[in-house]
Amino acid sequence: WNQLQWSADPRVRSYLIARLGKLGAHPKPLAERFAVEPDAGARRALLLALGGFPDAAFAPADRAALLAAARRTFDETPDPGLRAAAEWLLGTFDATLTV
């Protein structure tokens, strides 16, 4: 989880964000971690990584819960990077976002 936090050298973080979905990881642990992760940079990375998974990787209930969490994040967080990641994830999943 520490590798998802922002650092001066973003190579590992960027690699994980871009490839977790393509490498066959399961999205549920990432979504569960998003719910409890205190670090805003890691939360951004988790949302971006989750957007790299195909729809088929999510159970319908897990997908719905993730989208609800992304909507809450977009509505409630003052962090612009986290808001942007939530908005991007919602757009990736073609979820309706009422601003």
The two most distant CA atoms of the chain are separated, in Å, by 37
- Residue 47 CA to residue 73 CA, distance in Å, equals 10
**pLDDT digit string, tens, across residues 60-81:** 999 999 999 999 999 999 999 9
Amino acid at 7: S
> Model confidence at 94, in pLDDT bands (50, 70, 90)?
confident
pLDDT at 22: 87
If one compares 61 and 96, the residue with the highest pLDDT of the two is 61
Pair of tokens at residue 54: 């195909």
Amino acid at 27: P
Helices (H) and strands (E) in the chain — how many of each? 5, 0
pLDDT at 95: 67
Are 74 and 86 in contact, with CB atoms under 8 Å apart?
A: yes
